[in-house]
């Protein structure tokens, strides 16, 4: 039976704050349980387009978001690889087994209520902005024997976006996965430049294929937010033009009875 990797949104795993603040949490599952220790490895790519509200139609672009107010910036880690371990006989990531010596908190109980989370702190870009942030995740399950040097490729760094997970910012050049490849993507967008506070709330949209939410779609959304919506009132019909006095009236035909 082939190994199937999947994820599911954790209970209460999606929160939507204002001005870009959000969290989206999922848990991983491997089916069937592997007979030997394995790894879930995910490549994450982050891109964004954020504007400072300045009274103009769109705003001033904010670029080079590295780190502000102790938050980890998108440009510091635009692409990275993160790793979870799955002990033999388990269908979920394990955090307190010997194979996790270089990664997770050994005291963490397993299974967790969630394994992976995407999130954004509005401290990164301020509180008066509009924009979008997109996370693209591509994950697979690998037997430890498939990636025997994983412990040297990945290092735990609590100050990274992977938190207690081992992370690599250099492409580990992985072999083919021992499972299907899973796309774990999220798009978020918001607009604090509008007076309508309903548009300040960060919209969080998970999606499977990058083609469903390309840059153009989110840019169109921003453009729509920046332009007042068209009026839904039906325009009054223009009165018919007056007849030309030089045109003779149409001939009157008498109807036979």
The structure's pTM equals 0.77
Q: Which of 230, 222, 216 is nearest to 59 (CA)?
A: 222
DSSP state of 225: H
- Whether the CB-CB separation of 221 and 131 falls below 8 Å is answered with no
pLDDT in tens, the chain (257 residues): 789 999 999 988 899 988 888 999 999 999 999 999 999 999 999 888 888 888 776 778 887 776 654 456 777 888 999 999 898 999 998 875 444 444 444 444 445 678 898 988 766 667 788 888 889 999 999 999 999 889 889 988 777 888 778 899 999 999 999 999 999 999 888 888 888 888 888 888 888 765 555 455 655 665 555 544 444 444 455 555 555 555 554 444 444 54
DSSP one-letter string for 65-114: --EETTEEPTTTSSEEEEEEEE-TT-SS--SSSGGGTTSS-TT--SS-S-
**What are the residue boundaries of the structural domains of the chain, listed by start?**
4-226
């Amino acid at each position: 039976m082939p190994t199937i990797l999947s994820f599911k949104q954790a209970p209460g795993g999606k929160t939507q704050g204002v001005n870009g603040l959000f969290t989206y949490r999922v848990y991983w599952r491997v089916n069937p349980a592997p007979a030997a220790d394995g790894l879930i490895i995910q490549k994450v790519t982050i891109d964004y387009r954020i504007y400072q509200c300045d009274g103009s139609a769109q705003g001033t672009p904010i670029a080079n978001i590295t780190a502000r107010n102790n938050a980890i910036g998108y440009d510091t880690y635009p692409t990275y690889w993160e790793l979870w371990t799955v002990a033999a006989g388990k269908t979920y990531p394990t955090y307190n087994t010997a194979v996790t010596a270089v990664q997770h908190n050994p005291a963490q109980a397993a299974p967790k209520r969630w394994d992976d989370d995407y999130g954004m702190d509005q401290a990164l870009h301020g509180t008066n902005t509009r924009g979008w942030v997109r996370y693209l995740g591509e994950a697979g399950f690998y037997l430890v024997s498939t990636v025997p040097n994983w412990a040297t490729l990945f290092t735990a760094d609590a100050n990274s976006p992977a938190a207690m997970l081992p992370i690599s910012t250099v492409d580990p050049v992985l072999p083919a996965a021992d499972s299907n490849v899973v796309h774990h993507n999220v798009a978020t967008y918001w607009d604090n430049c509008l007076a309508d506070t309903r548009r300040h709330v960060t919209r969080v949209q998970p999606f499977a294929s990058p083609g469903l939410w390309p840059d153009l779609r989110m840019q169109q959304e921003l453009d729509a937010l920046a332009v007042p919506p068209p009026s839904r009132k039906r325009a009054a019909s223009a009165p018919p033009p007056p007849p030309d006095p030089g045109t003779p009236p149409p001939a009157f035909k008498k109807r036979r009875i």
